[in-house]
Structure 1
Amino acid sequence: MMTFLAYLGAAIAEIAGCFAFWAWLRMDKSAWWLVPGVASLVLFAYLLTLVDAEHAGRTYAAYGGVYILSALLWLWIAEGVKPDRWDSLGVAICLVGAGVILLAPRPV
């Protein structure tokens, strides 16, 4: 459960940080949007270090599924575009893959 919460917090922080850059460069917002954006990206990186995994690469790979889910939730909540059935199927596939990567039994 703690792993999922760390991943979820990291995903929210990453999307918010990236959105700040998007807003500045694509929506003509003030460069001041970059201040919370950079702070959010620092928080994102920190939160990924809280995941109890032996290798960073597996941590990042498994995080990808949660990130995709969070990005589609952002699409729906922040941008007002409801994900379609293909988005939902894609998220389900990614979450299964993330679970396999993170939870597979490995020799010690």
Structure 2
Amino acid sequence: MTKTALVYIGAAMAEIAGCYGFWLWLREGKSAWIVPGALLSLIAFAWLLTLVEANAAGRAYAAYGGVYIAASLFWLWQIEGIRPDRWDVIGAGICLVGAGIILFAPRSTPIV
């Protein structure tokens, strides 16, 4: 597995965990003591994305979107106990293909 893939997976887990902390606090009525951990997780997410091997931040973030979608479905299954259906899996697969195209395609003159 490449460094970029590992960074994206780590960033996705950190972002989802951080957002889930806020979800638990604001939607599920859990203690506000969850928030500091959620914030630290979101800080880790932002830092991890700076480690992506890409020539532009926007391109790194765009490609990350596909990984985030797939990781969110993994979270849905493993943490929330809801198994993704075939449409979830197909959609995530399409997003991952798109992320790969964005990140690894050969570059030429940009379209304006």
Whole-Å Cα distance in 1 between the matches of residues 71 and 108 of structure 2? 31
**1:30 corresponds to which residue?**
31
Whole-Å Cα distance in 2 between the matches of residues 107 and 92 of structure 1? 26
The alignment status of 1:95 with 2:86, answered yes or no, reads: no
- Give the TM-score normalised by the residue count of structure 1: 0.98
**Matched residue type, 2:6:** L
**2:52 corresponds to which residue?**
51
Percent of pairs with identical residues: 62
Whole-Å Cα distance in 2 between the matches of residues 83 and 57 of structure 1? 29
1:1-108 equivalences in 2 (<5 Å): 1-107=2-108
- How far the C-alpha of 1:54 sits from its partner, in A, is 1.0
Whole-Å Cα distance in 1 between the matches of residues 108 and 75 of structure 2? 37
Structure number with the higher helix fraction is 1
Gaps of 5+ in 1: none
**Matched residue type, 2:70:** L
**Matched residue type, 1:17:** G
- How far the C-alpha of 1:106 sits from its partner, in A, is 1.0
Gaps of 5+ in 2: none
**Matched residue type, 1:47:** L
- How far the C-alpha of 1:107 sits from its partner, in A, is 3.9
Deviation per CA, 1:40-84, whole angstroms, max 9, x where unpaired? 000000000000111100000000111011100000001111000
Superposed CA RMSD: 1.0
Matched position secondary structure for 1:31: coil
